[in-house]
C-alpha cells in the first residue's frame, strides 16, 4: 500500500486537530514519567516485613501505579493511532513533534511541526530527525500532482 503524502497546505489545515491530539499526548507522557518515577521510588524502598500493614499498603500502591501506567500507555497508543490515521507520525512525545510525509522535488521527505509553531514551516529527510530539519524556503517545491 502506497503511503499518503501531504501538502504543506493540507498539513496546516490539520493543525487544529493535531494540536489537540499532541496536547493530549504531551499531558499523558508527563503523567507516565511521573508515575514511572513514583513506582521506581516505591519499589526501591526498604522492604517491610511480609504481612505487615505497611507491606499491604505498599503492595496496593504499587498495583495502583502499575494500573495507572497501563491506562496512560493505552491512551498514548490511542492518540498515536489517531495521528497515524491522519497520515502523520509522532516523532517525539515529550515535545509533541509531528512528521507529515510529503514530496520535495518528487522524493519523499517529512514536513516537521512542533506545538509552539503556528504553521508547518520546516522539513527533513526521511532518515533524519527534528534536529536536522530546515526551514521551508519555497512551498512550491513541495507541491505534487495527485495520483503521481
Average pLDDT over the chain reads 90
Q: Is the dihedral of CA 11, 16, 21, 22 positive or negative?
A: positive
pLDDT above 80: residue 54: no
What is the per-residue pLDDT for 33? Answer: 96
Nearest CA to 102 among 21, 36, 3, 15? 3
pLDDT above 70: residue 106: yes
More confident residue, 34 or 45: 34
What is the per-residue pLDDT for 46? Answer: 61
State the Cα–Cα distance between residues 134 and 94, nearest whole angstrom: 21
Mean pLDDT of 39-47: 80
Q: Which residues pair with 98 in a beta bridge?
A: 90, 113
What contacts 67, CB < 8 A, 6 or more positions away?
A: none
Mean pLDDT of 125-134: 95
What is the per-residue pLDDT for 148? Answer: 43
Predicted confidence band at 47 (pLDDT cuts at 50, 70, 90)? low
Mean pLDDT of 130-145: 86
State the Cα–Cα distance between residues 87 and 9, nearest whole angstrom: 14
State the Cα–Cα distance between residues 3 and 58, nearest whole angstrom: 48
Predicted confidence band at 48 (pLDDT cuts at 50, 70, 90)? low
Amino acid at each position: 500500500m502506497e503511503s499518503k503524502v501531504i501538502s504543506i497546505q493540507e498539513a496546516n489545515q490539520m493543525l487544529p486537530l493535531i494540536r489537540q491530539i499532541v496536547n493530549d499526548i504531551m499531558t499523558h507522557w508527563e503523567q507516565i514519567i511521573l508515575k514511572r518515577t513514583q513506582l521506581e521510588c516505591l519499589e526501591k524502598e526498604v522492604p517491610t516485613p511480609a504481612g505487615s500493614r505497611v507491606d499491604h499498603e505498599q503492595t496496593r500502591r504499587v498495583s495502583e501505579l502499575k494500573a495507572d501506567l497501563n491506562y496512560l500507555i493505552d491512551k498514548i497508543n490511542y492518540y498515536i493511532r489517531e495521528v497515524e490515521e491522519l497520515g502523520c507520525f509522532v516523532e517525539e512525545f515529550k515535545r509533541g513533534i509531528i512528521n507529515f510525509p510529503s514530496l520535495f522535488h518528487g522524493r519523499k521527505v517529512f514536513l516537521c511541526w512542533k506545538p509552539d509553531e503556528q504553521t508547518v514551516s520546516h522539513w527533513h529527510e526521511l532518515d533524519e530527525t527534528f534536529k536536522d530539519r530546515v526551514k521551508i524556503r519555497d512551498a512550491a517545491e513541495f507541491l505534487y500532482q495527485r495520483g503521481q
